[in-house]
Amino acid sequence: MKKLLIEQLKRIHRLNYGNKVLEEGFLDNILGKNEKKIDDPKKADLVSNDVKDFFSTLEKASSGGGISQQEKGSMTFQKEVESMQIGLVILGYELPKHGIDGLFGPETASAVTKFINDNLKKQEVNEVTLSSPIGQTSVNSPYGPRWGRKHAGVDLKADSGTQVKSPLDGEVIDAEIRADDCGGTIYIKHADGYKTRYCHCKQINVKKGDIIKKGDVIGLSGGSSKDIGRGRSDGAHLHFEVYKDGKVVDPMEHLGSEVGEFVGGKSSEKMISATPEMLNKLIELLKQKGIKSEDIKKHIDQSVSGITQKIDVSDFESITNTVIKTFEGGYYHPDMLKDGRVKDSRYGNSGETMFGIDRKAGGKMTNEGPAAQEFWKLIDDANARTNWQWNYMGGPLESRLRKLTSDIIKPYFVSNVNRFLNPEAREIVLNDKKLMVNFAYATWNGSGWFQKFANVINDAVKSGTTDPEQLSDILLKRRLNSGNSLIAQGGKKMEKLINSMA
């Protein structure tokens, strides 16, 4: 039965939108398979300015084993992440690109790493910085989990035949080309419990027992398909390992700036964790600083005041009315499919909606607060579920429902503007109606999409583009090329709308 339903949904969607849109994941949204892509307001904006609650959140994260970096494409908003970000920013660890957003991505990982290096790395008497064995280079594949097992070193970018030099004085304890995974192998013992190991060398210039100096050429890198000593390698590079007191460690902790950080794809990217030790240190430093409620309040979503002073209420109502007219419709309830008031089964996954306010999927935004409560009470009192037709605009209730829609959307629009737009970009957006309409509609789309659109405008303004018309065009192109069929469809309507605006 499930298969027949899926096939029927496919057939209906294909008839209406064609194969291309079907492949973009609309069917998965209908069937609930893409839940991780749906914005869930309940997972963000939970941090208050209550100092006790703030520390309690961080302490729970610490006792729970820490916080792990999230993979791109599967990020969710987390209160503990948002709290950690606020703590880092208060202590001077900047998040210049994305800010405090409740998402543990690369920018937050970088701030966590810097905090750890500044506050937890104990510089031992014998700890040393190693020079790169092949000079200026970058990492092709980092230390850590890879392909279901541990990668015990780093793969350094190197053409076949690159000179390999000893990073320290030492004694060669192994030097041989073998028919194993490492292939051409060099192993050196250094002072203070350090050892270094090199794999895939196609030429070895030293032998076991040799005493060498820092900078001596010990061999040539290999790894290419025709190289002797290739070992298990899929291309030219140098595999480099570091050991301290018999334990393998991340070479990047000991290599200087000659070696650039790994910037490859998600499959082998090293993920960062905010360990319990790191979080406890963060808590300790914040308590030493004596942070107060107002310190936290500066970094959570700001209140409506301070931005709404720049937005005339009637103007914002006209903007929300424009969005309703152009992109959203009147009333819908799933019962309408059952009794024949609606024939298109694509509406089946929707909740009860009015003017794009979704009772089922809207979460906190569309169900909490006096405006939302009055909005749905009016609809319930009218017994809309039974009495109204599809796309009914509310009749005598229309004016009040439109006003309440504006009241529901406005605080979240203001919050998103404060949260995701940089000050200069914010100023431009709030003084241009086309941009205002675009970002107001993005509030209906969810904070995730709002942030994506805001990032585009922030980058454009930072690069020197401040003309509202150009920014509007940039934003429109981002919508049309979003990769999401529903967002792109909204982009086509947006294009007609802004072209008609003076």
How far is Cα 348 from Cα 331, in angstroms, rounded to an integer? 14
Share of the chain above pLDDT 90, in %: 26
- Average pLDDT of 157-174? 94
- Tokens linked to 27: 């069917």
* SS3 at position 95: coil
- Alpha helix ranges (H) inside 40-171: 51-63, 79-90, 106-119
Considering 41-50, 128-137, 215-224, the range whose residues carry the highest mean pLDDT is 215-224
- Indicate the residue type of 121: K
| pLDDT tens readout for residues 345-390 | 655 556 788 888 888 776 777 777 888 889 989 999 999 888 998 8
Q: What torsion, rounded to 10 degrees, do the Cα atoms 213, 217, 219, 223 define?
A: 110
What is the average per-residue pLDDT within 244-265? 73
Please say whether the beta carbons of 351 and 358 come within 8 A. Answer: yes
**Which of 17 and 321 is assigned the larger pLDDT?**
321
Two tokens, residue 322: 């424009």
Which residues partner with 237 through β-bridges? 222
- Structural domains of the chain, ranges and CATH numbers in brackets: 2-37 (no CATH), 46-123+275-297 (no CATH), 137-255 (2.70.70.10), 308-500 (no CATH)
Q: What is the mean pLDDT of residues 280-287?
A: 95
pLDDT given at position 2 = 41
Backbone angles phi, psi at 199, to 5 degrees: -120, 160
**Among 133, 146, 128, residue whose Cα is nearest residue 240:** 133
Asked if 164 and 181 count as a contact pair (C-beta separation under 8 A), the reply is no
Closest CA to 51 of 301, 287, 275, 304: 287
Query: Is residue 120 within 8 Å of 283, Cβ to Cβ?
Result: no
Collapse the DSSP code of 204 into the 3-class scheme (helix H, G, I; strand E, B; otherwise coil) and give the result.
strand
37-41, 166-170, 480-484: least confidently modelled range: 37-41
What pLDDT score does 351 carry?
A: 75
CA distance 463 to 502: 26
Q: How confident is the model at residue 160 (pLDDT cuts 50, 70, 90)?
A: very high
Task: Indicate whether 429 pLDDT > 90.
Answer: no
Q: How far apart are CA 360 and CA 384, in angstroms?
A: 16
Q: Which of 70-84, 90-104, 355-369, 424-438 has the highest mean pLDDT?
A: 424-438
DSSP type of residue 22: I
Tell me which residue has tokens 């880092």: 88
User: Once rounded to an integer, what is the mean pLDDT over residues 14-30?
Assistant: 43
Residue appearing with tokens 């979460």: 363
How far apart are the C-alpha atoms of 265 and 287, rounded to whole Å?
38
Residue 436, pLDDT above cutoff 50: yes
CA–CA gap between residue 303 and residue 408 (Å, rounded) = 14
Q: How sure is the predictor about 121, in pLDDT bands with cuts at 50, 70 and 90?
A: low
Q: What average pLDDT does the structure give for the chain?
A: 79
pLDDT band at 37 (very low <50, low <70, confident <90, very high): very low
**Strand-pair partners of 243:** 195, 248
**Residue 265: both structure tokens together:** 């794809």
pLDDT(484) > 80: no
Structure tokens at 383: 């017994």
The Cβ-side half-sphere exposure at 419, using a 13 Å CA radius, reads: 29
Residue type, 501: M
Position 416 scores a pLDDT of 85
Higher-scoring residue by pLDDT: 172, 426: 172
Residue 303 has pLDDT above 50, yes or no: no
What is residue 444's predicted lDDT score, i.e. its pLDDT? 85
